[in-house]
Structure 1
């Protein structure tokens, strides 16, 4: 694999992961605050899946934002949110975001490929690892630029990736991905730590976050 492709593919896959897990977080927090308030204090029903997002800002006012939402509620709320590139439960992806890489073709190739470590990049600026393990897409990125290293971990079930890419061209279907997530076990989906923020996105059966 050429140096150019090794650089582009991890960035493209990482964009996919963040589109699913981070782009709607702020919109969901604002739109569903009232709807989720009664549920946040209630005991989670057996088998109910909850999506948790926690953002800790270590700069300025040092705020902590927590979003705890049943996946069923998130599925209903997302189509009603129209914010930036998020419309009707789908996120539009510009070609510039993924350096003109065909995400659908890349992910289809990974879906049908054997498990293994696909990309490993160790450089002065970044360390990147992309692998398929236990039918999960694993992305690990260490950004060495800046005063402190930033770490990004994405672990996404391949079925969720397939649902995400089930929309039309240049779109990611978040509602379809959330629907598939309901059948998944407890798992940490995204972890980000840099000099300004610490972000964690995970799925479990608890109505209250840790």
Structure 2
């Protein structure tokens, strides 16, 4: 599901941003529970300060110095989208449901509520459900740099100013993935 892949990239960016958000009292958590006989359980608990210090040292295609460079990603067309202009229009709009796609294979809903951008995706064929919520202030911070960049570090710092809670929840028959921040060092 292509939208899930894109959402995954945004989720990673926001989760990484979350990790950079504050001092040692804020933590990024990722929990992955795979089903079946060989099901694995993965738990990641990182202090945000650690993530902030590590990110500048990661350099992979499209990601350098804590920034995603949209034009360098496999789908370079993302760099041609004026994300700032789109976000500004969304911010000015009242809380509402902006996009609903209700097809036989999937259902997608994008809305704004209480200063958050909400994305819900349901893959009816694969049984996967994705729920993501991003504070608009975090998205603002991530888009404050160069036009074709997403500044993950800035987003993480901005996320530290927001309440604890879920960022992303992905559920399927095979696994469950949850990404959230809070003030605890363990789950």
* Residue 116 of structure 1, CA deviation: 1.3
Give unmatched runs, 5+ long, in structure 2: none
Partner of 2:49, secondary structure, is helix
Name the counterpart of 1:128. Answer: 108
Equivalent residue for 2:163, pick from 156, 166, 185: 185
Do the aligned partners of 2:80 and 2:148 also contact (CA within 8 Å) in 1? no
Do the aligned partners of 2:31 and 2:179 also contact (CA within 8 Å) in 1? yes
Name the counterpart of 1:109. Answer: 89
* Residue 59 of structure 1, CA deviation: 5.8
1:159 aligns with 2:137: yes
TM-score w.r.t. the length of structure 2 is 0.81
Name the counterpart of 1:92. Answer: 69
CA deviations 1:76-135 (Å, max 9, x no partner) are: 111112234321111222345759543332222112222111112211111111111110
* Residue 193 of structure 1, CA deviation: 1.3
1:207 aligns with 2:185: yes
Q: 1:174 to 1:80 in 2, by over 3 A?
A: same
Q: For residues 21 and 88 of structure 1, what CA distance do their matches in structure 2 show?
A: 15
TM-score w.r.t. the length of structure 1 is 0.73
User: Which structure features the higher share of strand residues?
Assistant: 2
Root-mean-square deviation (CA, aligned residues, Å) is 3.0
Q: For residues 34 and 76 of structure 2, what CA distance do their matches in structure 1 show?
A: 28
How many matched pairs?
179
Q: For residues 83 and 57 of structure 1, what CA distance do their matches in structure 2 show?
A: 27
Do the aligned partners of 1:153 and 1:190 also contact (CA within 8 Å) in 2? yes
